[in-house]
């Protein structure tokens, strides 16, 4: 996906909606967490990224060690943390006759402790890599890092000081923050130990992404994305039931549409509410989808009435993109996410997303008893018929996409979720997909979620569980204590950004197994 940068973006702020959203800003729950052990990071060709932690000593012994120029220590907090670090430092030896230059590196994975950030050459900004250089003029000192970090490991490295003194690190703490109340989550107590563990890590992933909005990743990008929000909200309804946070996020998006009424793919909330200048065909439609799921989770009719015009507008704008055959126009002047899969043509999966969200919008219009429902029903019939005529290849027995008639996993998965065919036909299609294994596959946990759900709605429960265990269970075997933004079991160094160092290892769109397990009684 290329980067969008709009020169003439016009935002029409709805201050009433923004005010509504601010009223629902949650209070963060703070917990003090301390490291459990001192570790070394060892090369291991069998470990993901080629590195693994190795226990050295309990963290309680840290004050027994002294560090001078060129020395470092790596601490393990035993689990993923999101929060603010503080460190007490004292000198030993002669009085400090030069400032202490201290480098701190925070990492979610062992590789971030082992590979120098200076070697990073990806296309995302290196400023996302988590490091600080601190100069301490007077010792002893209590250092409180002002930035929030997302990490499990922290490396403290004395870059320079003086030959006359060493330093000791003490009382290292993280003030972990989240708006998620874990005490309110109903225990699963699953008889399958692997599903139990997947559920637990899914919940931890979601909790660490629940700040004053549903962030997509607490390391990167640390903001509210619509595609992630939809999935986080579904997981939330089965666990935390922090429904006001979902409502807040919907109002934030609705508060800053552009002059055509389109909602942005993501928004920033600091220093104030700002709509990004990125717009995605599928993500805009997911505003209606998220509103649909919110309404059926809460029966909040007032919110539905207020936000219905915004939801309807996303559909109207999407429908404007259809050609004379009622198909989404496939050209170079539009963006739709779908997945990070290389070479994926987005036309047919985007068409399926449109059908999926139109069906949800029709249900909402029926709840509101507004005339929009009749218009949407007519258009839906035309679009579904067009799919069967133009996008279903009878000989291949697959949906095809784009001028090259591409057969991709994403096209089949989304058409199953859109319910274009009957359940039996969908079951046949999903089994054919698994058997034929088209080369344009699935790249992210985001798309794997849709694969598993497509299997479930097709009645292939056993296959869905197998896929979940293979994929999210594979992450656990590779060391995940929160689920990752990206994971390719066949290429564990995969990154669409040019380096696995910049990948997010606690990411919103990976949290959905808890939804799938609980919603479908797996």
Residue-wise pLDDT tens digits, 137-150: 999 999 999 999 99
Instruction: Give the pLDDT score at 5.
Output: 85
Residue 355 lies in a domain: no
> What's the whole-number mean pLDDT along residues 127-156?
98
Residue 153 CA to residue 11 CA, distance in Å, equals 41
Say if residues 290 and 226 touch (Cβ distance below 8 Å): yes
Instruction: Give the pLDDT score at 2.
Output: 59
Using one digit for the tens of pLDDT, what is the confidence trace for 49-94?
A: 999 999 999 999 999 999 999 999 999 999 999 999 999 999 999 9
> What's the whole-number mean pLDDT along residues 213-237?
97
Q: Is the pLDDT of residue 171 over 70?
A: yes
pLDDT higher for 126 or 5? 126
Range(s) of the domain holding residue 111: 29-178
Using one digit for the tens of pLDDT, what is the confidence trace for 450-463?
A: 999 999 999 999 99
Q: Which are the contacts of 419, defined by CB distance < 8 A and separation ≥ 6?
A: 355, 356, 359, 426, 457
Using one digit for the tens of pLDDT, what is the confidence trace for 486-522?
A: 999 999 999 999 999 999 999 999 999 999 999 999 9
Instruction: Give the pLDDT score at 6.
Output: 87
Residue 233 lies in a domain: no
CA distances from 506 to 51, 149, 210, 329, 509 (A): 18, 12, 11, 35, 9
Residue 159 lies in a domain: yes
Residue 83 lies in a domain: yes
| Domain boundary residue, one of 126, 159, 178 | 178
> What's the whole-number mean pLDDT along residues 302-310?
98
Residue 219 lies in a domain: no
The number of folded domains in the chain is 2
| Domain boundary residue, one of 140, 155, 178 | 178
Residue 296 lies in a domain: no
Q: What is the DSSP letter of 434?
A: H
The string of DSSP letters for 369-404 reads T-THHHHHHHHHHHHHHHIIIIIEETTTTEE-BTTT
Mean per-residue pLDDT of the chain: 97
Residue 146 lies in a domain: yes
Write b or e for each residue in 147-171: b if 16 or more Cβ atoms lie within 10 A of its Cβ, otherwise e.
ebbbbbbbbbbbeebbeebbbbbee
Q: Residue 509 in 3-state DSSP? A: helix
Residue 226 lies in a domain: no
CA distances from 91 to 68, 97, 139, 180 (A): 10, 11, 6, 39
Residue 137 CA to residue 143 CA, distance in Å, equals 11
CB atoms within 10 A of CB 191: 7
Q: Is the pLDDT of residue 1 over 50?
A: no
User: What CATH number should be reported for the domain holding residue 143?
Assistant: 2.60.120.260
Instruction: Give the pLDDT score at 333.
Output: 83
The backbone torsions φ and ψ at residue 71, rounded to the nearest 5 degrees and listed phi first, read: -90, 155
Which residue from 190, 207, 154, 208 is spatially nearest to 41, judged by alpha carbons? 154
Residue 417 CA to residue 475 CA, distance in Å, equals 25
């Amino acid at each position: 996906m290329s980067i969008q940068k709009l020169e003439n973006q016009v935002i029409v702020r709805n201050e009433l909606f923004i005010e509504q959203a601010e009223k629902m800003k949650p209070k963060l729950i703070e917990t003090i967490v301390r490291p459990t052990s001192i570790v070394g990071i060892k090369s291991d060709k069998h470990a993901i990224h080629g590195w693994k932690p190795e226990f050295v000593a309990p963290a309680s012994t840290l004050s027994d060690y002294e560090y001078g120029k060129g020395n470092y220590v790596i601490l393990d907090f035993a689990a993923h943390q999101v929060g603010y670090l503080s460190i007490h430092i004292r000198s030993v030896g002669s009085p400090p006759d030069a400032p202490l230059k201290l480098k701190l590196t925070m990492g979610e994975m062992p590789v971030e402790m082992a590979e120098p950030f200076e070697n990073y050459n990806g296309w995302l900004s290196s400023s996302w890599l988590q490091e600080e250089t601190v100069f301490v003029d007077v010792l002893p000192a209590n250092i409180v890092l002002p930035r929030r970090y997302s990490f499990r490991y922290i490396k403290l490295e004395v870059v320079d000081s003086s030959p006359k003194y060493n330093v000791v690190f003490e009382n290292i703490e993280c003030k972990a923050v989240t708006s998620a109340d874990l005490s309110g989550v109903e225990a699963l107590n699953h008889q399958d130990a692997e599903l139990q563990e997947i559920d637990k890590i899914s919940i931890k992933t979601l909790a660490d992404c629940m700040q004053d909005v549903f962030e997509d990743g607490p390391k990167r990008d640390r903001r509210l994305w619509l595609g992630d929000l939809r999935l986080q909200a579904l997981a939330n309804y089965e666990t935390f039931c922090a429904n006001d946070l979902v409502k807040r996020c919907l109002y934030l998006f609705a508060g800053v549409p552009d002059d055509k009424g389109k909602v942005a793919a993501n928004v920033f909330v600091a220093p104030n509410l700002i709509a990004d200048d990125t717009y995605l065909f599928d993500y805009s439609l997911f505003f209606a989808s998220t509103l649909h799921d919110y309404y059926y989770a809460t029966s909040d009719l007032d919110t539905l009435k207020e936000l219905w015009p915004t939801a309807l507008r996303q559909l109207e704008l999407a429908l404007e993109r259809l050609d004379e055959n009622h198909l989404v126009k496939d050209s170079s002047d539009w963006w739709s996410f779908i997945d990070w899969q290389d070479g994926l043509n987005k036309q047919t999966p985007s068409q399926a997303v449109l059908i999926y969200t139109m069906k949800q919008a029709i249900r909402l219009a029926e709840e509101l008893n507004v005339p929009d429902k009749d218009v949407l029903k007519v258009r839906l019939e035309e679009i579904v018929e067009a799919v069967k005529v133009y996008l279903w290849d009878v000989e291949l027995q697959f949906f095809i996409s784009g001028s090259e008639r591409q057969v991709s996993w994403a096209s089949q998965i989304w058409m199953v979720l859109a319910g274009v065919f009957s359940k039996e036909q969908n079951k046949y299609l999903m089994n054919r997909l698994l058997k034929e294994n088209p080369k344009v596959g699935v790249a992210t946990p985001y798309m794997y979620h849709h694969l598993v759900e497509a299997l479930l709605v097709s009645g292939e429960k056993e296959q869905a569980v197998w896929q979940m265990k293979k994929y999210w269970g594979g992450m656990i075997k590779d060391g995940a204590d929160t689920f990752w933004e990206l994971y390719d079991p066949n290429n564990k160094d995969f990154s669409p950004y040019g380096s696995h160092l910049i990948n997010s290892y606690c990411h919103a769109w990976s949290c959905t197994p808890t939804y799938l397990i609980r919603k479908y009684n797996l």
